[in-house]
Amino acid sequence: MKDSIISKSFLAKELSAYMGWSNRKSVLFIDHFFDWIKSQMLLGNRIVLSGFGVFQLNMRKQRRLLHPITQEPLVIPERLCPQFTPADTLLKFLNYGIKL
């Protein structure tokens, strides 16, 4: 498996080449797309991208722990956590190289 990082600038460059857009327009599209996903998640909506997966927010319950060194009790408050669940199509493609 190749260990490389795809940055937003690289994604914008690839998108601009694929769509025939300027690099600036590609960066704006990426920014607006992810801002829209975040705003929809905050409104409680699930974002379902067919063949790719589902983005949603989950509430994690409050937890009580002990500090590992001092053994003092800690309380981690409840909080929102983003979650991505890949679609079966994406999982099959990634694991077996099968295009559906």
Residue range 32-66, pLDDT digits in tens: 999 999 999 999 999 999 999 999 999 999 999 99
Q: How many other β-carbons are positioned within 10 Å of the β-carbon of residue 12?
A: 21
pLDDT at 97 (0 to 100) = 80
pTM of the entire predicted model? 0.75
Count the domains in the chain. 1
How far is 63 from 66, CA to CA, in rounded Å? 10
Q: Does residue 22 belong to any structural domain of this protein?
A: yes
Q: Does residue 52 belong to any structural domain of this protein?
A: no
Element (H, E) at 33: helix 23-42
Q: Does residue 21 belong to any structural domain of this protein?
A: yes
Q: For the segment 66-75, what is each residue's pLDDT rounded down to a tens digit? A: 999 999 999 9
Q: Does residue 33 belong to any structural domain of this protein?
A: yes
- Residue-number span of the structural domain to which 25 is assigned: 1-45
Q: Does residue 100 belong to any structural domain of this protein?
A: no
Q: Does residue 58 belong to any structural domain of this protein?
A: no
Q: Does residue 17 belong to any structural domain of this protein?
A: yes
Confidence label for 2 from pLDDT (cuts 50, 70 and 90): low
